[in-house]
Structure 1
Amino acid sequence: MTTQRPDQSKAPSWLPFAPWLFVCLWSAGYGVAKLCLEYTTPLNLLAMRFVLTASILALPLVFYKVSFPSWRALGPLCLVSLCIHVVHFGLVYGGLSFGASAGVLALFAASQPLLVEISVSLFYRRFPRVVTMTGLGLGMAGAAYVIIMRHEFSAGALLGALMGFLAVVSFSIGTACDRYRTKNESPLAGYFVQYLFAAI
């Protein structure tokens, strides 16, 4: 006689709201960072971000007794962390502190999926699709249009915009590296290592 087990795959009740919560948090990121940088420096904001996130991830890591990644996996994880967290957010916060508007950096961030596809194509030694290159060109043209219409021609604003673009390039390279590498570790352990490395 088989006993009926409760359905463990049932989705939690809050799951339908998760995408909307993510969009709200993500869209507010640049504006909140711009506001925070009026009271602190980019390096302090980076340190607080990485230390706080690593501390939060450490709790479920210990509670669920998640196994730590192997020594061989640490190198690629640290490389991904360097591109996605350290360089990306460092350039974003630096660009905002130099005077770039959050809207311009958000436009650069919108081109991120295209840059990721281009980076993956280069990893596999393929030429990116024409439609991808066209979309990237339109995105850059949109960012340039916003800069021109807002008359953001000061040296600090232009340098900040350039840093914002390089931040998205770094994020795209890190994402491509993350897709390219072999993943044997738990996602929770992988994220913990990335944020711990970034905090150090």
Structure 2
Amino acid sequence: MTRSHASLGWVPWAFVGLWSTGFIGAKLGLPYIGPFTFLALRMALTLACFFALMRVYALPWPGLAVARRQWLSGLLVHGVYLGGVFAAIKAEVPAGLTALIVGLQPLLTALLSRFAFGEALATRQWLGMAVGFAGTLLVVAGTRGLDFHAGPGLAWTVFALAGITVGTLYQKRYAAGVDLIAGTFHQYLATLLFTGALAWWLERDHPVVWAPELWVAMIWSVLALSVAAILLLMRMIREGEVARVVSYFYLVPGLTALEAWLLFGERLSAPALAGMAVAALGVALVLRAPRPAGGV
């Protein structure tokens, strides 16, 4: 491992730790606000943060052609994915089923990246993807249980899976060659327009209860997730193989289960703990392949 590469070794682990806390926003915030209203407000506050960063670092504005690619990437990775997950939670789709469907993302992305970028995985990497999903299955079964009675709200979960998968591939191919802060600003601009339109259409008559829990959820979601975690993810996508990057998502359900146990006293069983170990083994198998120079 090169020195420059070693210096970036913290990036995926910091991302996983932050991304796993996305559950906090949904758990704390959604009882008091509609999902798209929450996301629209979150995007507006995030845009203010990125605008300030661009002014501080005197970053140039991307041209229209570059901005358009960022708009589409943001619409998929942030708008479709987050909107789908939050709407599924609000529609009372079983949390375990949502986690399982979204948990297919690393495997699906790896399969599609073979055709999009010619990233051929070694046999042990495909095995790692399968083992990682098996670990996710164990974590979900050992915490939230497997309830497949989702009703029409299931479509939101599939919508989210499609968004994060296609958005990751599009970001890698078409939207990676731009400053991270400036590019992400434009991604959130498109996301704000998307979630704002849905909030007005579907939730304009829904009252917002400004409870302390909602403020905590909003502030954490903006600073930890929409700013810090997303900048880390965009860097990983830009500098690493897609399959290698998305394999880290298999570690998220286990960390989320630990956080739910610590913060809310949710169930954490022996199968869930075993699932965390299995998921970690799967990620290790994926990451064992030789890394491309400069990659994550």
Identical amino acids, percent of aligned pairs: 27
Separation in structure 1 between the aligned mates of residue 77 and residue 98 of structure 2, nearest angstrom: 15
May I ask how many residue pairs the two structures share in their alignment? 184
Whether the aligned pair in 2 keeps the contact of 1:115 and 1:136 (CA below 8 Å) is no
Corresponding residue to 2:55 among 62, 81, 84: 62
Letter in 1 for 2:133: G
Please name the residue that 1:4 is paired with.
none
Equivalence for 1:186: 179
Residue aligned with 2:161, SS? helix
TM-score, with normalisation over the residues of structure 1? 0.73
Question: Which one has the largest radius of gyration?
Answer: 1
Cα RMSD after superposing both structures: 3.7
Equivalent runs, 1:103-182 vs 2, <5 Å: 103-124=96-117, 132=126, 135=129, 139=133, 142=137, 146=141, 150=145, 152-154=147-149, 157-181=150-174
CA contact (8 A) 2:96 2:146 kept: no
How many Å apart are 1:182 and its aligned residue? 5.6
Whole-angstrom CA distance in 2 between matches of 1:84 and 1:35: 22
Structure 1 position 101, deviation (Å): 3.5
3-state SS of the aligned residue for 2:181? helix
Aligned to 2:86: 93
1:33 maps to which of 23, 26, 31: 26
Question: Would you say the 8 A contact 2:113–2:169 is kept in 1?
Answer: yes
1:18 and 1:128 mapped to 2: Cα distance? 22
**What per-residue deviation string (whole Å, max 9, x for no partner) do you get for residues 50-72 of structure 1?**
11111111111011110111111
What are the superposed Cα offsets for residues 77-103 of structure 1, whole Å, 9 maximum, x if unpaired?
A: 111111111111111111001112434
Residue aligned with 1:37, SS: helix
TM-score (norm 2): 0.51
Partner of 2:32, secondary structure, is: coil
2:84, 2:156 within 8 Å by CA — same for their partners in 1? yes
CA distance in 2, matches of 1:184, 1:152: 42
1:73 aligns with 2:66: yes
Say whether the 8 Å CA contact 2:97–2:146 is kept in structure 1.
Answer: no
Deviations 1:131-190 (A, max 9, x none): 7499469838939x84xx846354xx3444442233122101001011111644211100
**8 Å contact kept, 1:88–1:171:** yes
Q: Deviations over 1:1-29 (max 9, x none)?
A: xxxxxxxx9xx9xx998766544432221
Q: Please tell me whether the aligned partners of residues 50 and 181 of structure 2 are also in contact (alpha carbons under 8 angstroms).
A: yes
CA displacement at 1:115 relative to structure 2: 2.1
Q: Residue 182 and residue 91 in structure 1: after superposition, are their counterparts in 2 closer, same or farther (change >3 A)? A: closer
Which consecutive residues of structure 2, in runs of 5 or more, have no partner in the other structure?
194-296
What corresponds to 1:45 in structure 2?
38
What corresponds to 2:75 in structure 1? 82
Code of the aligned partner of 1:43 = F
CA–CA distance in structure 1, aligned partners of residues 178 and 13 of structure 2: 29
**Does the CA contact (< 8 Å) of 2:88 and 2:156 recur in 1?**
yes
Query: Counterpart amino acid of 1:121?
Result: R
